[in-house]
Amino acid sequence: MAGDSSVTTERVLSLQTTAQEFVFEKVTVAPVPSLLRDFSAPVVLEFDYTAAELAHLLAHDSDPFNRCEAGQRLASQLIIAATAAISAGKTPSWSADFAKAAARVLAQSATDPAFAAEALTLPGEATLAEQLDVVDPDALHAARNGLRRFLAEQLGGEFRACYESLTPKGIYKPDSHDAARRALRNLCLGYLSETDSAETRALAKKQLDTADNMTDQFAALSVLAQSEGEERVLALEAFYTRWKDEALVIDKWLQVQSTSRRPGTLAEVERLVAHPAFDLRNPNKVYALLRAFGSNHVRFHAADGSGYRFLAEQTRTLDGINPQVAARLARCFDRWRRFDATRQAHARAALEMLRNHKGLSRDVFEIVERSLG
């Protein structure tokens, strides 16, 4: 394999019995299996890869699906392990191999920016929570953000160089090639903004002000909506002033605030309920603000139960206007039993408040009753 072009470098190994053995000759290091390459149907295959093996596949596998899957599995393992460490009061550790593999993905991103953007997107908190017996949303949130910051610190120069290399040089094009470049550039901006420095906020603000398309504008606004600087308030106000007559755009404006990871998000959502842009009678506004808040894993599942109480109260009010939409909003409570005893108590109290509400619609009652079991 080292240089002899006559040597076959790929071969299908067919598994025909419950136990088989394959011997690799003249190989100086143990091979890392890239299983089910080019498979044409969805398959879940359990294989006990080490972290080093997953990092190797992310860095070197020629099969893009297996390469991306290796990265997602490794990121999940790191975040889950860090969640346990944080819950136990310990400091998590991160994998230098993962950072090196991510750097290689970035270095090769010019050939397939869509793949790079997908491979370097960490799994979401709701997805990760499904792997936990008891969910600690604060620890999970801190762990995922910790890995993002680690990558941002280790690869800051690479992310910045990639971001600059993808600067648009012509007019907006809605084709797949330019869409992939935008996706990767905006992912780089997100990682760069993990430091929440004046420099990165200025970078996001510049993109927001100069972008000629909603994708790039909204990506920059999303970054600023996570920040604690005054740029956040100014950007949100300017965006609203510019787009207040475009209902669908304002829905995105509501959503980006309700899904922010900032500690003050619930207070912002409560304020937005009274904002002229919001209308409880409009299902799209309800989904953009309230149901989106219900998907905000760390803020909806706040330890003091404030997120549960708020959404239950909004569901109760909405039930008198549109029971069907209220029932969909009540589904945000579906996973309440997966959390710790304190959060379960808060969630149960909120659900029981709804169930005991006089005049509760059948639509919402059935959802709540099923959830309470």
Query: pLDDT at residue 6 above 60?
Result: no
Candidate from 42-51, 104-113, 140-149 with smallest mean pLDDT: 42-51
Query: pLDDT at residue 38 above 90?
Result: no
**What is the Cα–Cα distance from 185 to 164, expressed in whole angstroms?**
8
Q: What average pLDDT is seen over the chain?
A: 94
Contact present, 280 and 296 (Cβ < 8 Å): no
Reported as a single tens digit per residue, the pLDDT across 311-334 is 999 999 999 999 999 999 999 999
**What is the Cα–Cα distance from 308 to 292, expressed in whole angstroms?**
13
What percentage of the chain exceeds 70 in pLDDT? Answer: 98
Reported as a single tens digit per residue, the pLDDT across 122-160 is 999 999 999 999 999 999 999 999 999 999 999 999 999
Which pLDDT band holds residue 5 (cuts at 50, 70, 90)?
A: very low
What percentage of the chain exceeds 90 in pLDDT? Answer: 86
Q: What is the mean pLDDT of residues 227-238?
A: 94
Candidate from 19-23, 204-208, 319-323, 337-341 with smallest mean pLDDT: 19-23
Helix (H, G, I), strand (E, B) or coil at 53: helix
Contact present, 136 and 87 (Cβ < 8 Å): yes
Give residue 280's pLDDT.
97
Helix (H, G, I), strand (E, B) or coil at 124: coil
> Helices in 244-331 by DSSP H: which ranges?
247-258, 265-273, 283-286, 292-294, 297-300, 306-319, 323-330
**What is the Cα–Cα distance from 65 to 40, expressed in whole angstroms?**
11
Give residue 7's pLDDT.
53
Candidate from 168-177, 290-299, 329-338 with smallest mean pLDDT: 168-177
The model's pTM: 0.92
Give residue 213's pLDDT.
95
**Whole-number Cα distances in Å, 179 to 26, 115, 231:** 44, 12, 27
Reported as a single tens digit per residue, the pLDDT across 252-266 is 999 999 999 999 999
Candidate from 46-50, 116-120, 315-319, 358-362 with smallest mean pLDDT: 46-50
State the burial class of residue 196 (Cβ atoms within 10 Å of its Cβ: 0-12, 13-18, 19+). middle
Between 262 and 25, the more confident residue is 262
Q: What is the mean pLDDT of residues 73-81?
A: 97
In the chain the domains, ranked by start, together with CATH numbers, are 244-373 (1.25.50.10)
Give residue 1's pLDDT.
32
Contact present, 178 and 172 (Cβ < 8 Å): yes
Q: Which residues share a beta bridge with 135?
A: 339
Q: What is the mean pLDDT of residues 6-17?
A: 73
